[in-house]
Amino acid sequence: MKTTSLKKMALLLILAVYAIPVQSQVSTKQIDSVVNYAMSKFNVAGCAVAVVKDGKIIHESGYGVKSVATKQPVNPSTNFAIASNSKAFTTVALAMLVEEGKLNWDDKVKTHIPEFTMYNEYVEANFNIIDLVTHRSGLGLGAGDLMFFPKGSNFTMDDILASFQHFKPESAFRTKWDYDNLLYVVAGELIARKSGMTWEAFINSRIFDPLGMDNSYASVTEITDTSNLSASHSTETGTMRIIPTFEGMINGAAGGIFSNVHDMSAWMLLQLHAGKYGEGLKKQLFTKDNHNEMWKIHTVMDANTNPRYNSHFAGYGLGWFLTDIKGNMQVSHTGGLPGMLSKVVMIPDMDLGVVVLTNTSNDGAGLFSAITQTIIDMYLEMDDFQWVDKYVAYMKSDQSGADAVVKKVWDSVAKNDQSKINTSKYVGMYEDVWFGKMEVFMKDKQLWIKSYRSPLLSGPLQFYKDETFAIKWEYQEMDADAFAMFTLDENGIVNGFTMKGISPNIDFSFDFQDLDLKRLD
């Protein structure tokens, strides 16, 4: 008996050594400490953070202010634009329609939207619903986003559906990941056509209502009581300022939702429970099969080589980025609009989810990354990597480098004698096949340019060098100033121009590089 007991004791000791440790709970005090430290280092007006673990909300709190004007504090129900975190709501809506037999994931888009176009006949004929939401179209990063950035343009759904035939692909179909917003807008149109209600109505009635996300909105236009709506802030010009709230695209499928960390906790719990929700998880919004489809890599990406997490794979599912960290699957997404940034990270193996919503462009990205990484590391029981300080240093270095490039351009412009430029040869009407007309004209003895379909893209043209001018847009909510590079025919007559952003940090949605404007007169 003694021998048997000793063997059992030895076995138990071995199992104890190799057993997977039970993750300790991270306290609200610890999370507050992380966020408060981050808020002290980043130039952000306010943010909200929530953490769910083991089926429960274990932390939800607001930090800073909703508006630097009112100084009212952020709380867990303060609404922010979640921007591209809306995309996963769109894929859930598609999954629900698949389960109702109204769609199949591999259906061709043209079967349901005959007006849909693509850059060649094969891609157009074979483009399926999964292609709409997996960023593998072959189009370049942010292709066509200039239709909606900045806000105030007059492009329609018909314009979007017709536009894709005019873009030049940057990779072979289904071979490379390049982020795309317009195809999600098409997915929103598909949802509307197959459900008989707008994308917004579907999200409200079919997702928000069942989950009890009572203070979330599929569009900012639905918010009648704005008392707990965060203002949008920007530090693009170096100082904190309030900027107008982004008004959205034709539908919100790519980034239209406004929500708060309390409601987003319900969303994370739904995801972590594979579509189940409610008391005892007895209700189901979507099936396990479709959950697996959404959390399956459809577009392969380069894996994060950071040895800290020993990651081996990375890719994009249906509205989610997927990778592995320390042997655990990670599901995440970020979102960004002028003055609003968001991040959701879930570790399903640990039944863990973290959401951070912020109301300030620029530093908000460093803040949400530092907070989420630190909290996740705490649950992984890893050493303190000082993510806040590292992101502060990175953001400062990155911004400094970009600022130096921009300053050099405008310093060069300032040294040029603008009065010696033969402005008359550039004056005229120009047109791009998908973006429409832009006019170059004289205004108060200064060469100007304006877009006819996106009115905020208007500003002076100032000579830079050769046939290149720098444009200082009247729109300054984001750093979107651009070069206009004119071309000449064999007789030295200006016959068109192309464009590109000046700052290396220009948001990819300002896809000036996709324009090819031809002179009409």
- Per-residue pLDDT reduced to its tens digit, 502-520: 999 999 999 999 999 999 9
Q: Does residue 60 have a pLDDT over 50?
A: yes
Which of 366, 383, 400 marks a domain boundary?
383
Q: Does residue 338 have a pLDDT over 80?
A: yes
Residue 203 near residue 52 (C-beta atoms within 8 A): no
- pTM, 2 dp: 0.93
Structural domain includes residue 253: yes
Q: How far apart are CA 190 and CA 201, in angstroms?
A: 13
pLDDT, residue 467, reads 96
Which of 359, 383, 407 marks a domain boundary?
383
Q: Which two tokens stand for residue 356?
A: 């951070």
263 lies in the same domain as 344: yes
364 lies in the same domain as 234: yes
Nearest-5° Cα angle at 137, 132 to 140? 120
Q: How far apart are CA 423 and CA 441, in angstroms?
A: 9
CATH number at residue 429: 2.40.128.50
Which of 332, 363, 383 marks a domain boundary?
383
Count CB neighbours of 505 within 10 A: 15
Residue 469 near residue 461 (C-beta atoms within 8 A): yes
373 lies in the same domain as 421: no
pLDDT in tens, 347-362: 999 999 999 999 999 8
Q: Does residue 273 have a pLDDT over 90?
A: yes
294 lies in the same domain as 419: no
Q: Does residue 22 have a pLDDT over 60?
A: no
**Nearest residue to 71 via CA among 242, 220, 221, 223:** 242
287 lies in the same domain as 426: no
Q: How far apart are CA 457 and CA 470, in angstroms?
A: 13
Q: Report the SS3 class of residue 23.
A: coil
Q: Report the SS3 class of residue 279.
A: helix
The alpha carbon of residue 238 and the mean position of all alpha carbons in its chain are separated, in whole angstroms, by: 23
pLDDT, residue 237, reads 77
Structural domain includes residue 3: no
* Helix, strand, coil in percent for the chain, rounding step 5: 35, 25, 40
Structural domain includes residue 242: yes
Domain count, the chain: 2
**Nearest residue to 503 via CA among 426, 407, 367, 427:** 407
Q: How far apart are CA 451 and CA 207, in angstroms?
A: 38
221 lies in the same domain as 134: yes
pLDDT in tens, 362-385: 889 999 999 999 999 999 999 999
pLDDT, residue 24, reads 59
Rounded mean pLDDT of 131-142? 98
State the average pLDDT for the chain: 93
466 lies in the same domain as 352: no
The alpha carbon of residue 283 and the mean position of all alpha carbons in its chain are separated, in whole angstroms, by: 30
pLDDT, residue 303, reads 82
Rounded mean pLDDT of 407-412? 96
Rounded mean pLDDT of 22-27? 70
Q: Which two tokens stand for residue 162?
A: 């017709």
pLDDT band, residue 307 (cuts 50/70/90): confident
Q: Report the SS3 class of residue 29.
A: helix
Structural domain includes residue 422: yes
**Nearest residue to 38 via CA among 387, 454, 489:** 387
What's phi and psi for 46, nearest 5 deg?
A: -160, 165
Structural domain includes residue 475: yes
pLDDT, residue 489, reads 94
Residue 200 near residue 251 (C-beta atoms within 8 A): yes
Structural domain includes residue 410: no
pLDDT, residue 419, reads 86
Nearest-5° Cα angle at 63, 57 to 66? 115
94 lies in the same domain as 49: yes
Rounded mean pLDDT of 309-330? 96
CATH number at residue 232: 3.40.710.10
Instruction: Return the sign of the alpha-carbon dihedral for residues 280, 283, 288, 294.
Output: negative
Structural domain includes residue 409: no
361 lies in the same domain as 470: no
pLDDT, residue 349, reads 97
Q: How far apart are CA 57 and CA 59, in angstroms?
A: 6
Q: Report the SS3 class of residue 485.
A: strand
315 lies in the same domain as 371: yes
Amino acid at 101: G
470 lies in the same domain as 351: no
**Nearest residue to 254 via CA among 509, 511, 470, 521:** 509
Query: For tokens 């790519």, what's the residue?
Result: 254
Q: How far apart are CA 100 and CA 104, in angstroms?
A: 10
Q: How far apart are CA 373 and CA 165, in angstroms?
A: 41
Residue 432 vs residues 149, 183, 420, 439, 496: alpha-carbon distances, Å: 16, 20, 29, 11, 10
User: Which residues form the domain of 83?
Assistant: 33-138+173-383
374 lies in the same domain as 429: no
pLDDT, residue 25, reads 80
Structural domain includes residue 153: no
**Weakest-pLDDT range from 38-42, 248-252, 348-352, 435-439:** 248-252
* Rg (the chain; Cα; Å): 25
pLDDT, residue 492, reads 93
Residue 25 vs residues 329, 332, 373, 501: alpha-carbon distances, Å: 19, 21, 16, 46
